Structure formats: C-alpha cells, structure tokens
C-alpha cells in the first residue's frame, strides 16, 4: 500500500512538472517570440496541465498528511512565491493580459520551484536557477515542435524535485491503511481517465 | 498580531473571496444546464445564444476562480500544518476526494466543453455540461463533508496523539454536513437567479434591442430565485436544532456573532418576498414596463453574495476557539512559522485576490455590456476575452 501511494504521488508530481513545465517555459520565452502564436499553441493544454498540481497536493494531504504540513510550512515563503506566481501566470495567460505579466508569473513560479529544490537538497541558492533553465528549454522544445526531444526535456523538468524527495523517509508520515485503501478506489481509475480526457481536448482543438 | 491571528485573518479573507467565485460558478452552471438542454431538444437559436452569452460569463468566472482554489488548497499545509498532522487521516479523505473527483475531473470536462463547442455531436456536448455541473456539485459535497467534520467530528478514533478514520459513512451522514450542504447549494442557485435577473434588468434599462433574449433570461432568473429561496431558508432554519445539539455555545462565541446571522436572514427573507411579489408581474411583462423594479434588480445583484459571506462568518467564527470542535484548538493547529512569514503571505494573497475579484468583475461587466453575439463566436475567454 505504501508503494502504491508513492507511485500515485510520483505520477502526479512527474505529470505536473512534465506538462506544466512547458507552460512556464513558454511564459519565459514569451518576450522573445511572437505573442499570439506562442500562446495559441499552449492554449488547449493549459488548464489541463495546471490541474495536475491540484491533484498532487490533494493526494499529498490525504495520503501523506504528516509530510505535507512539514513540507509546505517548512518552505513557507518559497511557496508564497510559487503561488503568487501561479496566480499571476494563470490569470494573465487565460485572459491574454500583458506579455510581461505572463513572463513575470512564469519566472516567479520557476524560480520558486528552483528555491524549493535547493531547500530540499540543502543546496546553495544558485541551484534555484536550474528549474527556470530546464523549463525554458522544455518550452522551447514544445514551441519549436521538436517532438523527439520532448520526452527528454519533459523528464529533465519532471525528475529533479521527485528525486530530491527520495531522500525523505516517508514511513510514519503516511496515513493509516484504512484511509489509503478508501482513497485508492478513487485515485486509481481517475488518473488514467483524466489522461484520456485531456488527450481528447488536445485532439479536438487541433481538428 | 500573533501568527495564529494572522493565519486566521488570511484564511477568512481568502476563503471569502474564493467563495464569491464558487457561488457564481455553481449558480450559473445550473442555469446553463437548463438553457443548453432546451437548445439541444428544441434546436431554437435563442437557447443557443443564451447558452453562449451566459456560458462565456461562467467560463470567465471559472477561469479566475480556479486560481483562488489552488491557493486555498495549499493554505492548509502552509499555515495549518497542525490540522494535517493531527487529523489528516480523516479530514484529508474528503478533501482529497474533492481535488480528485471534483476539481481534477471538473476542469477536464469543462475544457472538453469549451474546446468541443461546435465540433462535437450536440448531445455529447450537452452531456459534457451535465458532467461539469455534476462534478461542480460533487466539489461542494466533499468540501461540505470536510467542513461538517470540523463542526462536529464523527467517524474517527483516537490512536496515540492522532485521529484515524474509523467509519467513512459517518462522515457522509453527519447532521452538520447534510443540512448545510443543501443550504449552500440553494444559496448558489439563488445567486445564479439573482444574477440572471439583475443583468437582464440592466439591459432593459439600457433599452436593449434583444428583447426576447433578455425577457427569457429575466423570467428564468426571477422564477429560479422564487423557487430556490424557500428551500434556502428552510435548509437554513433546519440547522438551528442541529447547532443547538452539537455546538450549544455557537451564538455566544463572540459578542458580535448575531450581526452577520441577522443580516443573512434579513437578506434571505427579502429575496424570497421580492421574488414572489415579482412572479405575478411577469405576466405581460408588467415588471419590465414598470421600469423602476429593474433598478432594484440591478442593485440586488450583490445581496446574495453578501448573505453567503455572512453565513460563513457565523458558521466559522461560531466554531471558535476550536478548529475541530472539541478536539483541536485553532491555536494548536497553526504551523510553526514566523508571524512575519504569515504576514507576508497574508498581504500577497489578499492583494492578489482583491485584484482577481476586480478583474473578474471588470471582465464580466464587459461581457455583459457587449451583450449576446449576433454572429456566433467562440465561448471561451481563452480566445475572446481581450
């Protein structure tokens, strides 16, 4: 049961960074590319990409309650930065507000995740720049449609934070098996369902 | 102010702003379901145009509301880690079900609905709206189940110094959950009805050429309000015996607690009375020809929002000093974080949420002023808002 939930959480976190990574990359590249075309390419993916984070935090809360509180409150100001960036970025992208607001939002989110990575690894603050660099690369691959490279940059974006997590011993931080068993009935069918539906959104909008 | 005061203030402010978006989302999606069903069955263009016009407002509101929802979700871990540590096993279950069943699926169905407009079979497209509405209600269901547990904890056992989930079905039959859920659902339908009425009235004040369109919308708004408010009030009063039984000290929690409750009841009664008085005036459009009621309808738009915030103030402030009634004190649940960090996040999130609410209001006002499309246009603000 513990393994199962690590896999569920891992899938959601990897899914979030692999997908939302190119959103943030797109935001970071926006000042250097044609605005309308760049945003139009991202549009059908956008909402779907960001909700992976919502699902990941939900699972973190229910399945790893004693990890979630420590993790988030232990990096309080970093998450304030990530969330403030997310608010600006999501509002600016969806409403087609000014490009610089999209860029600023994306920069705040990426630097925020970078700072979180540095925090997890107890590394110097400079490490924070890794995430914006990877996101920008991933965004560039997505925007220039280099699909053979896409899985590579997706993994590069997705892996640093889950790998940094693997140093944490989760035994004793997880919920009781009664709670985990109940949630498994919901989480396991829903994730593939959402993947299929999100894929349909992309397929329909490119018709 | 101490860390716990700041964290409470932040939670109160962000939740209130989030709830304004939620109310309109739930209210509008319910009415959209009726509009699109009528369009799908009859094929009449006016129903399609209604679905588009009100659907665009709904999507604008959803797109900004989802952002406030993400912050809400993080806030538990950021400021209230004591809650997750002590009761995460029980309280976390409905919350996670909300994010997975409702949030994750709802936004995906909505995405399909937006991008499938005009591209899917119209029955499939209608089914997507039904699924969006159903998952939106599921969201309210699970959030209220989680909140019901905080008001009157059930279905748990104490193991060492944490709570464990003992009986999940007890969470779903919790009396502080069921009546409050109905109250919240009818409150959001009332918001939808009053909103439809007010916006349509605005167009009649402006002498709109779209008489048939807004006449239908106004009637739908008034009838919805008239049907929803008696149930709203019924579900509200049904909670008093439950409160008396499980939270006897609720109305003495603070000296001013009676004020929000009183204002909420006053607004609820007013809306019920006014909507029933308006019903006979719908005959031969008397209410539109009289004109002065139209101004009252526009002024009335904020009232159900205000009442809902007052209602939450009573429910949540009245639970103090407990976070989980009788089990966990609010002051013991706050994260071990410096007050200055909470102050920073309080300032950042409150100002961003105020900004979001203003942007939401401005964009909805613009969509309202622009009126229904003469030529079909895409429904999504992802494409057309600016």
Distance CA A95, CA B61 (A): 11
- At B383, is the pLDDT very low, low, confident or very high (cuts 50, 70, 90)? very low
Per cent of chain A over pLDDT 70 is 100
Among A55, A65, A90, select the one facing B100 at the smallest CB separation.
A55
Reported as a pLDDT band with limits 50, 70 and 90, residue A157 is confident
- Please report the pLDDT score of residue B69 as a whole number: 87
B68 contact residues in A (CB cutoff 8 A): 87
Q: Is A187's Cβ below 8 Å from some Cβ in B?
A: yes
**pLDDT surpasses 90 at A37:** no
Q: If you measure CA to CA, which chain A residue comes closest to B333?
A: A69
Residue of higher predicted confidence among A95 and A19: A19
CB contact under 8 Å between A65 and B108, yes or no, is no
* CB contact residues (below 8 A), chain A span 45-64, against chain B: 46-48, 50-51, 53-55, 57-63
CA distance B249 to chain A (A): 30
Mean pLDDT, range B48-70, rounded to an integer: 89
Computed over every residue of chain B, the mean pLDDT equals: 89
Q: Looking at the predicted structure, is the pLDDT value of residue A36 above 80?
A: no
Residues B51, B113 contacting (CB under 8 angstroms)? no
Question: Is residue A60 pLDDT above 50, yes or no?
Answer: yes
Q: How far apart are CA B383 and CA A44, in angstroms?
A: 10
Residue range A164-191, pLDDT digits in tens: 887 777 777 888 888 888 888 888 888 8
Mutation for testing the A interface, residue in B4, B10, B67 having most A CBs under 10 Å = B67
Task: Please report the pLDDT score of residue A184 as a whole number.
Answer: 85
* A77–chain B Cβ distance below 8 A for any pair: yes
Instruction: List the structure tokens of A188.
Output: 């396991």
**pLDDT beyond 80 at B229:** yes
Give Cα B343 distance to the centre of its chain: 27
Lowest-pLDDT choice from B53-67, B314-328, B360-374: B360-374
Say if the Cβ atoms of A71 and B73 lie within 8 Å. no
ipTM of the complex: 0.88
Q: What is the pLDDT of residues B253-273, one digit of tens each?
A: 788 888 889 999 999 999 999
Indicate if the pLDDT at residue A17 is higher than 60: yes
pLDDT-based confidence at B380, cuts 50/70/90?
low
Question: What is the predicted pLDDT for the residue at A79?
Answer: 92
- How many Å lie between the alpha carbon of A155 and the closest alpha carbon of chain B? 22
What's the mean pLDDT in B22-48?
94
Whole-angstrom distance, CA of residue B381 vs CA of residue B133: 19
When CB atoms are compared, the residue of B341, B383, B385 closest to A76 is: B341
Are the beta carbons of B164 and A87 separated by less than 8 Å?
no
Task: Residue A182: list chain B partners with CB under 8 A.
Answer: 93, 165, 168
Structure letter (DSSP) for residue B375: S
| A64, A157, B253 from A121: Cα distances, Å | 20, 16, 45
Chain A hits for B363, CB-CB cut-off 8 Å, are 95
pLDDT beyond 50 at B115: yes
Distance from the A88 Cα atom to the nearest Cα atom in chain B, whole angstroms: 8
- Output the DSSP codes for A168-187: S--TTTSPPHHHHHHHHHHH
Rank A136-150, B162-176, B182-196 by mean pLDDT and report only the highest. B182-196
Identify the pLDDT of residue B386: 33
pLDDT over 50 (residue B150): yes
Smallest Cα distance from A153 to chain B, Å: 25
Cβ contact A95–B344 (<8 Å): no
């Amino acid at each position: 049961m513990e393994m199962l939930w690590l896999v569920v959480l891992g899938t959601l976190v990897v899914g979030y960074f692999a997908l939302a990574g190119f959103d943030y990359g797109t935001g970071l590249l926006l000042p250097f590319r044609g605005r309308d075309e760049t945003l139009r390419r991202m549009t059908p993916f956008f909402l779907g990409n960001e909700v992976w984070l919502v699902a990941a935090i939900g699972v973190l809360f229910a399945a790893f309650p004693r990890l979630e509180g420590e993790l988030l409150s232990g990096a309080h100001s970093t998450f304030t930065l990530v969330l403030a960036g997310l608010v600006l970025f999501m509002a600016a992208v969806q409403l087609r507000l000014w490009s610089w607001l999209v860029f600023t939002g994306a920069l705040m989110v990426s630097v925020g995740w970078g700072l979180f990575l540095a925090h997890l690894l107890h590394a110097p603050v400079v490490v924070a720049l890794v995430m914006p660099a990877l996101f920008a690369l991933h965004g560039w691959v997505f925007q220039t449609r280099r699909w053979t490279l896409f899985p590579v940059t997706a993994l590069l974006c997705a892996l640093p934070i889950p790998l940094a997590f693997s140093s944490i011993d989760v035994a004793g931080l997880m919920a009781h098996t009664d709670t985990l068993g109940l949630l498994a009935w919901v989480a396991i069918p829903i994730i593939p369902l959402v993947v299929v539906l999100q894929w349909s959104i992309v397929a329909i909008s490119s018709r | 102010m101490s860390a716990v005061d700041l964290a409470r203030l932040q939670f109160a402010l962000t939740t209130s702003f989030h709830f304004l978006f939620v109310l309109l989302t739930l209210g509008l999606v319910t009415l959209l379901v009726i509009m699109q069903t009528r369009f799908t069955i009859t094929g009449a263009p006016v129903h399609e145009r209604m679905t588009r016009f009100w659907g665009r407002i709904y999507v604008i509101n959803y797109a900004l509301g989802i952002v406030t929802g993400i912050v809400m979700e993080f806030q538990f871990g950021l400021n209230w880690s004591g809650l997750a540590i002590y009761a995460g096993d029980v309280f976390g279950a409905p919350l996670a079900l909300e994010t997975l069943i409702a949030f994750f699926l709802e936004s995906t169905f909505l995405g399909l609905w937006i991008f499938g407009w005009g591209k899917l079979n119209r029955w499939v497209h209608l089914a997507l709206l039904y699924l969006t509405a159903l998952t939106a209600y599921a969201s309210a269901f699970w959030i209220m189940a989680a909140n019901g547990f905080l008001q009157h904890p059930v279905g748990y056992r104490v193991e060492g110094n944490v709570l464990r989930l003992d009986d999940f079905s007890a969470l779903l039959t919790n009396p502080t959950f069921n009546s409050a859920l109905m109250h919240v659902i009818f409150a959001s339908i009332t918001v939808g009805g009053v909103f439809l009425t007010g916006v349509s009235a605005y167009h009649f004040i402006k002498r709109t050429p779209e008489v048939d369109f807004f006449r239908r919308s106004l009637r739908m708004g008034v009838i919805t309000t008239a049907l929803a408010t008696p149930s709203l009030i019924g579900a509200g009063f049904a909670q008093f015996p439950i409160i008396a039984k499980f939270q006897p000290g609720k109305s003495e929690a603070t000296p001013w607690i009676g004020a929000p409750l009183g204002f909420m009841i006053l607004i609820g009664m007013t809306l019920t009375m006014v909507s029933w008085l308006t019903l006979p005036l719908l005959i031969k459009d008397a209410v539109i020809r009289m004109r002065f009621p139209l101004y009252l309808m526009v002024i009335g738009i904020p009232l159900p929002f205000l009442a809902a915030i007052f209602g939450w103030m009573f429910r949540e402030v009245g639970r103090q000093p407990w976070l989980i009634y009788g089990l966990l004190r609010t002051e013991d649940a706050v994260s071990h974080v410096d007050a200055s960090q909470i102050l920073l996040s309080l300032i950042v999130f409150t100002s961003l949420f105020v900004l979001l609410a203003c942007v939401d209001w401005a964009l909805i006002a613009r969509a309202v002023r622009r009126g229904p499309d003469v030529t079909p246009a895409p429904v999504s603000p992802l494409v057309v808002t600016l």
